[in-house]
Structure 1
Amino acid sequence: MKKMYLKDIASDLNLSKTAVSLVLNNRGNENKISQKTQKRIIDYAKKHNYKPNQLARGLSRGKSETIGLIIPNISDIFYAKIASHIEKKAKLYGYTVVYSSSNENPEIESELIRSMLNRQVDGLIIASTQQNQSDIQILKDLNFPFVLIDRHYPNIETNFVIVDNFGGTKDITQHLIKNGRRKIGFITIKSNLDAIEQRLLGYQDAIKANNLEIKSENIKQLDVVDYQKEMKQAISDLVKPSVNVDAIVFSTHYLTASGLRELKLLKFKVPQQVALVSFDELGAFDLVEPPITTSKQPVLDIGNLAVEILVNDIENKNLKIENKNVLKTKLLIRKSCGI
């Protein structure tokens, strides 16, 4: 069967192309097209398996029915999962998603925002570098629909969906303390991101709340690019006799995987000699030996809420949706902390 176009339906039914377009875009009633004519058009389109051109359909409605998604790195499992959930949720609302990675580069992020706007996306979901305040402010000034995820700009009033990084890290540190650990190390990355800073603060708050001493030698900040090379020295420093930590908190899932590898190479027993916990998790953390205790981020809720907020903004639905969300993490207790 040959592909059916809108002009073909109009010609075959001896109707104007405009009338056919209005009916197939659910605007027949408001344009006072008779029910009989609407039925003829719809029945004919179904019979001939008519598939609308989504771009043309979007433009005819003043919309592209496309959402732009800008994330730091699509190969990161955390962002890959969020992108997948966003794509599924957007599809339910009739939107497709185009996405690109900024690689944590504010200049690339700026270019991507402009590229997305040139593609006439209806709205944007952005996990920003937090170094691109000017473009975020421009989007706000233009009243262009957008939602920030994972990171936001506290000094700019925007829609956002983020995670309680402070509380999540405090929870896993507190759990170690409840299990008798007193000399707790912390391994993180060097970063200006608020999320990473909040995780460090959460760890420190748990230590202070339990009248333990915060020691600078127990905190290791690794280069985000060379963290695997630096992990060996960081682990060696924390387990050497003069420091001798009995537990380690890792601020990201990839640091946890790298740290566990180094501990096993040094033949340290987890959790007997060193307990460990992770902020966020990998799918394999419940399969490794020992299974890893984590503070799991609600990636499904992040994706779903971001789309709901954005579509509400795009379509001016004025639904009562909370547009500033700080979501709680979930403590998943496993054997790596010595339960």
Structure 2
Amino acid sequence: MKKIYLKDIAKHLNVSKTAVSLVLNNKGDENKISLATQKRIKEYAKKHNYEPNQLARSLSTGKSKNIGLIIPDISDTFYAKIASRVENMSEKLGYTVLFSSSNENPNKETKLIQSLLNRQVEGLIIASTQQNQKDIQILKTKNMPFVLIDRYYPNYDTNYVIVDNYGGVNDAVKHLWDLGRRKIGFISLKPGLEAMRQRLMGYRDAMKDFGVDTDDVIKELSYNNYENEIKNAIEELVRHPNNVDSIMFSTHYLAALGLRELRSLNIKVPDDVAIISFDEMGAFDLVDPPITSVLQPVSDIGGFAVKILMQEIEGKSVEIEKRMVLDTELIVRRSCGAS
């Protein structure tokens, strides 16, 4: 079918192009266009599959109907699920999502924010590197609607949707203790991110409650080299004098690598060493043994972020909190020794 334009509708119905534009942008009533004319225009546009020129519409309305999403890595299953939720919800609300990955590079994050602003996005959802306070302040100064997800700046007053990282790890470690595990190690990334710091605190405080010193059984790996460093970390934890009987991993990818290294050392999970992962991969319930995981409410993170952002963009009254900390859920499987 031949594509039609505003001028075609106007010519066929013998009305002005301006009238057609106003009606199709839902401004017919306020411009006193008769209901009969509005009905004719809308029916004709629908019958002939009229599709608006988004660039022209954004110029005339001042709204691009685009939002930007910046995440560290779109290939990470955690962020991919969030991105999918954000896209699906935004589409239902008439918005298009422009995706980008920062690769945990603060300089790239700065460039991406500026690029999206140049493309006239109406708002941003950002999983920040937490090294870009200046950019966050600029967004606040410009009154640009934005929501931080997964990571946030504790000393900045911003909208955010995060999870209870502290409580999730604290509960998981106490679960291991309840199962009779007394030498619980912890493998994480060096705490440049607030989430990693909170997870470490959750572990430390749980062990402190049990009166256990943890200095020798905490292994913090470099973000850029964790795949090489984890082998030594595992060996140091399972060999004398540490001899841990369980390990809490602060991320799902560390848990996957850790399981591989334990197997290479012929250490049986959970008989010799039990493991729990913060967050999970899709195959964690399929591997042998299935991995106990602290599950993050991924769909809710993306969903609430979109709702908060839309409140900001459309200037609606506050219907939900703009700063949200969501609960995690411990999914118990055989890797921690539970039946």
TM-score bin (small chain): over 0.9
Aligned to 1:334: 333
Q: What is aligned with 1:72?
A: 72
Q: 1:154 offset after TM fit, Å?
A: 1.4
Name the aligned partner's letter for residue 129 of structure 2: T
Corresponding residue of 1:146: 146
Task: Name the SS of the counterpart of 1:318 in structure 2.
Answer: coil
For residue 59 of structure 1, report the CA deviation from its aligned partner: 3.0
Helix, strand or coil at the partner of 2:202? helix
1:307 corresponds in structure 2 to 306
SS of structure 1 residue aligned to 2:98: strand
CA distance in 1 between counterparts of 2:303 and 2:54 reads 23
Once residues 55 and 80 of structure 2 are traced to their aligned partners in structure 1, the CA distance between those partners, rounded to angstroms, is 26
Return the offset for 1:213: 2.3
Query: 1:132 Cα deviation (Å)?
Result: 0.5
SS at match of 2:305: helix
Structure 1 residue runs of 4 or more that deviate by more than 6 Å after TM superposition: none
Deviation at 1:281, TM superposition (A): 0.5
Aligned to 1:131: 131
Q: Distance in 2 between matches of 1:73 and 1:49?
A: 37
1:16, CA displacement in angstroms? 1.1
Give secondary structure in 2 for the equivalent of 1:192.
Answer: coil
TM alignment of 1:14-93, pairs within 5 A? 14-93=14-93
CA distance, structure 1, for counterparts of residue 288 and residue 112 of structure 2: 41
1:121-173: CA deviation from partner (whole Å, max 9, x where unpaired):
00000111111001101111111100011111111111110111100111111
Pairing of 1:89-100 with structure 2 (within 5 A): 89-100=89-100
Could you say which residue in structure 2 is the equivalent of 1:321? 320
SS in 1 for 2:280: coil
Which residue pairs with 2:295 in the alignment?
296
Offset of residue 190 of structure 1: 1.8
Distance in 1 between the 2:96 and 2:115 partners?
16
RMSD between superposed Cα atoms in Å: 1.0
> 2: distance between equivalents of 1:111 and 1:227?
26
Structure 1 range deviating more: 49-58 or 140-149: 49-58
Letter aligned with residue 262 of structure 1: E
Q: CA deviation at 1:212?
A: 2.1
Q: CA deviation at 1:55?
A: 2.9
Q: Work out the CA distance in 2 between the residues paired with 1:280 and 1:74.
A: 16
- Tell me by how many angstroms 1:46 deviates: 1.5
Give the secondary-structure state (helix, strand or coil) at the position aligned to 1:284: coil
- Indicate the SS of the match to 2:283: helix
Shift of 1:189: 1.1
Corresponding residue number in structure 2 for 1:109: 109
- Aligned pairs (5 A) from 1:274-289: 274-289=273-288
Q: CA deviation at 1:299?
A: 0.7
* Distance in 2 (alpha carbons) for counterparts of 1:45 and 1:320: 35
Q: Does structure 1 residue 156 correspond to structure 2 residue 156?
A: yes
Q: 5+ residue gaps in structure 2?
A: none
Task: Please give the alpha-carbon distance, in whole angstroms, between the structure 2 residues aligned to 1:195 and 1:63.
Answer: 35
Give the secondary structure class of the aligned counterpart of 1:283.
coil
CA distance in 2, matches of 1:154, 1:22: 45
Task: Give the partner amino acid of 2:286.
Answer: L
Give the aligned partner of residue 245 of structure 2.
246
2:23 is paired with a residue whose SS is: helix
TM-score scaled by structure 1?
0.98
Match runs of 1:134-213 below 5 Å: 134-213=134-213
- Distance, in Å, in 1 between the alignment partners of 2:43 and 2:268 is 70
| Secondary structure class of the residue paired with 2:275 | strand
Partners of 2:318 and 2:275 lie apart in 1 by 43
Structure 1 match to 2:10: 10
Distance 2:326 2:130 in 1: 19
Structure 1 residue runs of 5 or longer lacking an equivalent are none
Q: How does 1:198-237 map to 2 (within 5 A)?
A: 198-214=198-214, 216-237=215-236
Residue identity over aligned pairs, in percent, reads: 64
> How far did 1:26 drift?
1.2
Residue aligned with 2:192, SS: coil
TM-aligned CA deviation for residue 191 of structure 1: 3.5
Q: Distance in 2 between matches of 1:148 and 1:222?
A: 25
Q: CA deviation at 1:60?
A: 2.1
CA deviations on 1:4-37 (whole Å, 9 max, x unpaired) are 1111111221211110011111111111100111
Give the residue type in structure 1 aligned to 2:292. T
User: Residue 258 of structure 1 aligns with which residue?
Assistant: 257
